[in-house]
Amino acid sequence: MENGARNGGSASVTGNGNGDGALAPHVAMLVTPGMGHLIPLAELAKRLVARHGVRATLLTFASTASATQRKFLASLPAGIESVSLPPVDLSDLPPDAAIETLMSEECVRLVPALTGILARLRETTRLVAFVADLFGTDSFDAARDAGVPRRYLFFPANLHTLTLILNLPELDVSIPGKFGDLAEPVRLPGCVPIPGPDILAPLQDKSNPCYKWMLHHGKRYHEVDAILVNSFDAVEPNAAKELRLQKPGRPVVYPIGPLITTNTADDATPRAACLDWLDRQPAKSVIFVSFGSGGSLPTDQMRELALGLELSGQRFLWVVRSPSDQGDVNANYYDAESKKDPFGYLPDGFTERTKDVGLLVPSWAPQTKVLAHPATGGFLTHCGWNSVLESLLHGVPMVAWPLFAEQRQNAVMLTDGVGAAIRVPESKGRSKIAAVVREVMEGEGRGAAVRPNVAELQQAAVDGLRDGGVATAALAEVAYKWTV
């Protein structure tokens, strides 16, 4: 039901044909590129539709119309429509522009088109709110100009990262040098201390335009009516307590997570073969290895990972992507499909030697179903926040191998904070990889504490999402404000 097929450079907005659309409260949601942004925002839309009688229009960027995304949008239930915004010319940007820059630039250049779309939505529906995600703050100008009554930020990452970005205007002054050069960790209210080199990747090089963009967004976050965050108290209790305090100039923050995908495009297709393979493995015996929708490793690390998995003696299910060697760990960000045959980069004989214990899947696997499978006992993850939430909600302990964005911070929080993961040492040698995998899978050493910690977090997450649970109540409060 993706209604927004591009139409001569302009977007089209189509109702879902149920007849009463003009009366139901309607929310427009801007999704900046990346499945990691789309999936939780779509889940928020599903909850609003199912529980609060709100209808939603997801506005997606033309730059991100991958097959995976199209399939996902086509699987959304009635009450949610999607509109692909018109393409914008970004050819003046340097070829090495950071993804945060690309998303922010695309957003700012879309403001005129977006204003028109929101104005039309206001005429044809009862538009009660506009929600944009983390890189979409300039779209609030469009919402204001179109006369949308409320502007909300949806933050798909966690409260630690939100705290950092909200504090960035002050940190920009108080820390003039590079975060990476700091001798002491960065201490923020309610947050686990974060070593400078682990601070959000786009803040590491202050001369890069993406730093200026993050600073810009940090300032604009203060303008919104409220911030919805895909996190929950138990996983970052002190940050939640701190952000719940009402502070002048800081919007109200609602932790409404964990919102993870409940049914996916994969439901419509035959059951994935990797799930059949999992059916044949013993309970909690398999480590799932995946680097999110866009992550890829340098060739040498990919090789060490393969040999480390082999050395660990554990069963594994690995979503393999072609490597990227230009320091471009998010090479597939805009398009989850590998461009080349990823298996061609594995060490000689690896596939044959591990065929009884390992399964390799190119590019994409039904991750939540894998994590929910009884045979899955661990998750080697890039610590993308959706992956972390999915792991916690399914009670799966993690091996942390962060790559880009805020993933290094997430790894710190998960290891030093709630003890839900063990991090792979920076050297990424095969024997160290094998040791960490064994610790998590066999509950040895540090792994002994990780399992019960994850079980506790799983319970807290599940409780929060029940009727009357803290996340459900927070979203109900938001929906009430929109619809009275």
Q: Which residues are catalytic?
A: 37, 133
- Of the candidate residues 4, 25, 36, 443, the single one contacting ligand UDP (CB under 6 A): 36
387 part of the interface to ligand UDP, by CB under 6 A? yes
Structure-token match 């080697």, residue found:
380
114 part of the interface to ligand UDP, by CB under 6 A? no
Compute the distance between CA of residue 142 and CA of residue 442 in angstroms, rounded to an integer. Answer: 53
- Closer Cβ to ligand UDP, 329 or 418, answer by number: 329
Cβ neighbours for 250, distance < 8 A, ≥ 6 positions apart? 166, 222
Q: How far is the CB of 103 from ligand UDP (least distance, A)?
A: 12
Q: How far is the CB of 416 from ligand UDP (least distance, A)?
A: 20
Closest CA to 57 of 87, 16, 9: 16
Query: Where does 195-282 have alpha helices with state H?
Result: 209-221, 237-244, 273-279
Q: How far is the CB of 12 from ligand UDP (least distance, A)?
A: 27
Q: What does the CA dihedral 458, 460, 465, 469 come to, rounded to 10 degrees?
A: 170
Footprint (CB under 6 A) of ligand UDP, residues 308-327: 319
How crowded is the C-beta side of 150, counted as CA atoms within 13 Å?
A: 24
Contact at 8 Å (CB) between 193 and 121? Answer: no
What DSSP character marks residue 10?
Answer: B
301 part of the interface to ligand UDP, by CB under 6 A? no
295 part of the interface to ligand UDP, by CB under 6 A? yes
- Of the candidate residues 105, 106, 390, 439, the single one contacting ligand UDP (CB under 6 A): 390
84 part of the interface to ligand UDP, by CB under 6 A? no
Q: How far is the CB of 100 from ligand UDP (least distance, A)?
A: 12
Q: How far is the CB of 295 from ligand UDP (least distance, A)?
A: 6
Q: How far is the CB of 261 from ligand UDP (least distance, A)?
A: 6
Contact at 8 Å (CB) between 16 and 121? Answer: no
Footprint (CB under 6 A) of ligand UDP, residues 252-271: 261
- Closer Cβ to ligand UDP, 36 or 251, answer by number: 36
Compute the distance between CA of residue 327 and CA of residue 90 in angstroms, rounded to an integer. Answer: 22
- Closer Cβ to ligand UDP, 29 or 479, answer by number: 29
367 part of the interface to ligand UDP, by CB under 6 A? yes
Compute the distance between CA of residue 417 and CA of residue 155 in angstroms, rounded to an integer. Answer: 21
196 part of the interface to ligand UDP, by CB under 6 A? no
- Stretch of residues binding ligand UDP (CB under 6 A), selected from 114-122, 242-250, 380-388, 414-422: 380-388
Contact at 8 Å (CB) between 223 and 208? Answer: no
39 part of the interface to ligand UDP, by CB under 6 A? yes
Compute the distance between CA of residue 292 and CA of residue 330 in angstroms, rounded to an integer. Answer: 10
- Closer Cβ to ligand UDP, 125 or 301, answer by number: 301
- Of the candidate residues 137, 314, 368, 376, the single one contacting ligand UDP (CB under 6 A): 368
How many residues of this chain bind ligand UDP (CB under 6 A)? 21
Q: How far is the CB of 367 from ligand UDP (least distance, A)?
A: 3
75 part of the interface to ligand UDP, by CB under 6 A? no
Tokens at residue 244, please? Answer: 């719940």
Mask for 326-365, x = binds ligand UDP (CB under 6 A): --------------------------------------xx
Tally of CB atoms within 10 A around 50? 12
- Of the candidate residues 136, 358, 378, 384, the single one contacting ligand UDP (CB under 6 A): 384
Q: What does the CA dihedral 56, 60, 66, 67 come to, rounded to 10 degrees?
A: 20
Closest CA to 318 of 350, 348, 270, 279: 350
Contact at 8 Å (CB) between 263 and 483? Answer: no
- Closer Cβ to ligand UDP, 247 or 340, answer by number: 340
Q: How far is the CB of 24 from ligand UDP (least distance, A)?
A: 28
61 part of the interface to ligand UDP, by CB under 6 A? no
290 part of the interface to ligand UDP, by CB under 6 A? yes
34 part of the interface to ligand UDP, by CB under 6 A? yes
211 part of the interface to ligand UDP, by CB under 6 A? no
Dihedral sign, CA of 101, 60, 108, 106?
A: positive
Interaction site with ligand UDP (CB under 6 A):
34-36, 39, 261, 290, 292-295, 319, 364-368, 384-387, 390
